[in-house]
Amino acid sequence: MLQLRDAQSQPVAIHRGDYQAPAFWIDTVDLCFDLDPAKTRVLNKMVLRRNPDVPAQPLRLDGEELNLARVLVNGQGTSFRIEGGQLVLENLPAAEEGAFALEIFTTCAPAKNTKLMGLYVSNGSFFTQCEAEGFRRITYFLDRPDVMASYTVTLRADKTLYPVLLSNGNLVEHGPLGGEGNENRHYAKWVDPHKKPSYLFALVAGKLVAREQRIRSRLGGDHLLQVYVRPGDLDKTEHAMQSLMASVAWDEARFSLPLDLERFMIVATSDFNMGAMENKGLNIFNTKYVLANQATATDVDFANIESVVGHEYFHNWTGNRVTCRDWFQLSLKEGLTVFRDQEFSQDLCAEPSARAVKRIEDVRVLRTAQFPEDAGPMAHPVRPDSYVEINNFYTVTVYEKGAEVVRMMQTLVGRDGFAAGMKLYFERHDGQAVTCDDFAQAIADANPGSELARLLPQFKRWYSQAGTPRVHAAGQWDAAAGRYTLTLTQSCAPTPGQVLKEPFVIPVALGLLGEGAQELATQQPALFVMTEAQHQIVFEGLAAEPVPSLLRGFSAPVILDIDYSDAQLLALLAHDSDPFNRWEAGQRLALRRALKAIADDGFAAGQPVLDAAFVGAMREVLRHPQLDAAFKELVLTLPSETYLAEQLDVVDPQRIHAVREAMRAQLAEALFEDWQWAYEEHRDNGAYQPDPRSSGRRALAGLALAQLCLAARASGDTVWPGKAYQRFKDAGNMTDRFNALSALVASAHELAAPALQRFHALFKDEALVLDKWFALQAGSPDRNGNVLPAVKQLMKHADFNLRNPNRARSVIFSYCSANPGGFHRADAAGYVFWADRVIELDGINPQVAARLARALDRWKKLAEPYRTAAREALARVAAKADLSNDVREVVNRALD
């Protein structure tokens, strides 16, 4: 493959400021595919015209790993050259001559496509993936999102091997192919009524079956919904279909956005780099986010399917009808669509407490994945300024922080104001390729007089400045005057390429708790909008010193520094009216204890870390008669090792692991009777439903069982491991079964081995369940370095396959990225393993390799000997001559 490189053979960065409109527009594309795994022939007939706004220049079409057979302009042969991978045409009709026809005939080799970008084969069927720059691996094209064309697609293939032929839009013709050599071949012709950028093109061909559902929308349109899977998987499609129907209804109800197609298709494939893809009318999904039934999928899987199905469906408006002008604007569609899928999942919750649980889960992802990204070598603004490889910028910053930025807009203009802003956005930009500025402007213009409209230029610093802002809060109590003064100060640390930061607009939702911890009515509004480096908020007429509850609902993606006393945190945990801050108070109490033990030179494994007050508070929550099980499970789960590491300047992963394990063990023993009560009280045997309430009960029962097995480990008790094994054997659903298996594995009980064996035998034909089996072992708590040898064994297992991204992730990522205690070894063997796998994967699939490469992003914070060993591993990868742009960008930035 040809890559752009400068003289030192370093990949070249692309800059946002260099954007130029395309020199040509493509009006129509007529594609004809002769599908064959070894050699697929692609005839691409386009109608183009020059863009009158751009000086005349040659046409440069992107292409990658294509074999070019023929180029015709208006039916005639023409001169052309290949330059830097691009097909360059000099002698094209002048602007005055209007549109012209360009016909390009190429071939490609889908069976050899291990990158899973462009046209590839998975389990004998054809799939495509074109975002961001995969279409150029199918044909020569202006492969950029601001070139939008009308597509007609004809698929021709063997009838027996590929009975189903799908592409975007509507099926207009199909039937047998006539002519010699075509006896067993058929064709299908699809026309997409909507113009689209090339990254939304898709085709699928293979032996698939579909669950179908006809629906009538609120506006009266009739639509056909289809979920296509491999023949054995039809019994796992009901939940995806339900989620799709709920998505259609939600977008109409909340944003008045209807389905604009007669037919909407979802197709599942087990070989996929990402979660799913929003191709117009033909979404292609990783099987992980489609297939579920109670026997094979957990509650978390069900919830993920609901949100990913929603996410891709919502892209139909936010992404497809209005798309991105260039890839720097990626968060225009991704941040907004994540926000929409988060709101969708919340709106589907019957109870307000379940909404809060969803919010806490989303914030937990942001803080454990995005905050580290924002503090590390890959830190970038929500709208990046430059990239080497765009695939490296499908990040938690663009997605999750981008969603927080949209959420703050909604907070500033209100829910109705935000809906009005969305309406204006579509009135202005339907059918266009636009920028993040255009979006923010529409929300502000629809809300004149709002804080957002007033502060828009400053608010947009959230798009341009990287790094997580810190808000420091300090209260001052003047008892004589009955006055409480809250001083809020914001700052933001330098990030690569951005040393000085201007103040952000930070909406701080707040309240005060008075004596007896009741909510105080104050003259101050419940939302304070920070715009300066420092603010003072004065509360008058108070009888006693209040406890501030700040950043309620996590109203901004910032780190809140505040010096609460234990007593204040205990009061917030017990009484705050804001469930998010209740949970947060519990996390702060745990964090404080963890950090103290980590800093304590005298700490030795097994030594108590937790005091009676903390344990008592946890017991209160666990036994609380009103709180939801799901909420209890969140409070009783200690902050992750990754989150703990983020709080420290120098990170000793083994010490963090040891302290957190000690805390878990202590909670297990100190609350033993409470865990028993919780388990018996919350284990259900009734019919399985994946709703938030019943999944919350299963989650709490699962945590209780894990804690009981852990306590048994210390005491030598065999009753609870026995019960866990029994539960594992007769559980009526995967959630309970897998929780029981995890409890045995995490406590390293001897019953873990037979349980694992039995689990494998039961599910050897269910790829997604086997992924869980692999991931559980690779992610299990390390004991004396036992995980790495186990991981190496797993890679030799007959069911392991490095080419399948889900399987590679289930073993390698579960170890390198999700098991810090196992990965960071004093003997450096974890890092050696990591470097070998990055290099090995890079030869197969650079996108997956580059994700793995990020496991060492934070190496500079590591204590010795980890730091030196990690740098050596990074340097070894970087020294490899023929690395992909993807991996090279990641390791170069890490070493910088």
Q: How far is the CB of 333 from ligand PHE (least distance, A)?
A: 8
206 or 335: whose CB is closer to Zn ion? 335
| Whole-number Å distance between alpha carbons of 143 and 61 | 8
Q: Identify how many contiguous H helices and E strands the chain contains and give both numbers.
A: 30, 33
Name the residue with the smallest CB distance to ligand PHE.
Answer: 274
Is 265 among the residues that bind ligand PHE (CB under 6 A)?
Answer: no
Please check whether residue 702 is in contact with residue 743, taking contact to mean a CB–CB distance below 8 angstroms. yes
Please check whether residue 303 is in contact with residue 695, taking contact to mean a CB–CB distance below 8 angstroms. yes
Q: How far is the CB of 489 from ligand PHE (least distance, A)?
A: 36
Nearest-Å Rg of the Cα atoms of the chain is 28
236 or 851: whose CB is closer to ligand PHE? 851
Question: Which partner, ligand PHE, Zn ion, none, binds residue 133 by CB below 5 to 8 Å per kind?
Answer: none
List Cβ neighbours of 578 (8 Å cut-off, separation of 6 or more): 509, 511, 549, 552, 553
Question: Which partner, ligand PHE, Zn ion, none, binds residue 286 by CB below 5 to 8 Å per kind?
Answer: none
Question: Which partner, Zn ion, ligand PHE, none, binds residue 488 by CB below 5 to 8 Å per kind?
Answer: none
Q: How far is the CB of 481 from ligand PHE (least distance, A)?
A: 53
Which token pair is 797?
């297992």
Residue type, 887: V
Number of residues that bind ligand PHE (CB under 6 A): 13
373 or 451: whose CB is closer to Zn ion? 373
**Listed residue (558, 424, 544) closest to 489, CA to CA:** 558
Q: How far is the CB of 342 from Zn ion (least distance, A)?
A: 12
Q: Among the residues of 671-751, which ranges form H helices?
A: 672-682, 692-715, 719-730, 734-746
Q: How far is the CB of 334 from Zn ion (least distance, A)?
A: 5
| Whole-number Å distance between alpha carbons of 68 and 107 | 7
Question: Which partner, Zn ion, ligand PHE, none, binds residue 131 by CB below 5 to 8 Å per kind?
Answer: ligand PHE
| Whole-number Å distance between alpha carbons of 231 and 249 | 28
330 or 630: whose CB is closer to Zn ion? 330
Interaction residues for Zn ion, span 301-360 (CB under 5 A): 334, 337
Q: Which range binds ligand PHE by CB under 6 A, 274-282, 635-643, 677-685, 870-878?
A: 274-282
Percentage helix, strand, coil for the chain under 3-state DSSP, each rounded to 5: 45, 20, 35
Question: Which partner, Zn ion, ligand PHE, none, binds residue 341 by CB below 5 to 8 Å per kind?
Answer: none
Q: Which range binds ligand PHE by CB under 6 A, 14-22, 309-317, 445-453, 616-624?
A: 309-317
Q: Is 252 a catalytic residue?
A: no
Q: How far is the CB of 337 from Zn ion (least distance, A)?
A: 5
Q: How far is the CB of 313 from ligand PHE (least distance, A)?
A: 10
| Whole-number Å distance between alpha carbons of 335 and 151 | 28
Interaction residues for ligand PHE, span 108-137 (CB under 6 A): 129, 131-132
Please check whether residue 413 is in contact with residue 448, taking contact to mean a CB–CB distance below 8 angstroms. no
Question: Which partner, Zn ion, ligand PHE, none, binds residue 277 by CB below 5 to 8 Å per kind?
Answer: ligand PHE
Is 274 among the residues that bind ligand PHE (CB under 6 A)?
Answer: yes
**Listed residue (289, 413, 283, 415) closest to 343, CA to CA:** 415
Catalytic-labelled residue, pool 131, 133, 278, 312: 312
Residue type, 355: R
Please check whether residue 672 is in contact with residue 711, taking contact to mean a CB–CB distance below 8 angstroms. yes
48 or 852: whose CB is closer to ligand PHE? 852
CA dist 539 → 484, 508, 521, 547, 800 (Å)? 5, 16, 10, 12, 62
Please report where in the chains the tokens 């004596």 appear, as a residue: 515
Name which position in 144, 185, 189, 311 contacts ligand PHE (CB under 6 A): 311
Number of residues that bind Zn ion (CB under 5 A): 2
706 or 841: whose CB is closer to ligand PHE? 841
Which token pair is 385?
């300024």
**DSSP character at residue 862:** B
CA dist 316 → 339, 443, 881 (Å)? 14, 19, 41
Is 400 among the residues that bind ligand PHE (CB under 6 A)?
Answer: no
273 or 707: whose CB is closer to ligand PHE? 273
Is 782 among the residues that bind ligand PHE (CB under 6 A)?
Answer: no
**Listed residue (299, 309, 312) closest to 358, CA to CA:** 299
132 or 890: whose CB is closer to ligand PHE? 132
Interaction residues for ligand PHE, span 312-351 (CB under 6 A): 312, 315, 334
List Cβ neighbours of 604 (8 Å cut-off, separation of 6 or more): none
Name which position in 157, 241, 277, 443 contacts ligand PHE (CB under 6 A): 277
**Listed residue (571, 510, 526) closest to 544, CA to CA:** 571
Q: Which residues are catalytic?
A: 312
Residues interacting with ligand PHE, by CB under 6 A?
129, 131-132, 273-274, 276-278, 311-312, 315, 334, 394
Residues interacting with Zn ion, by CB under 5 A?
334, 337
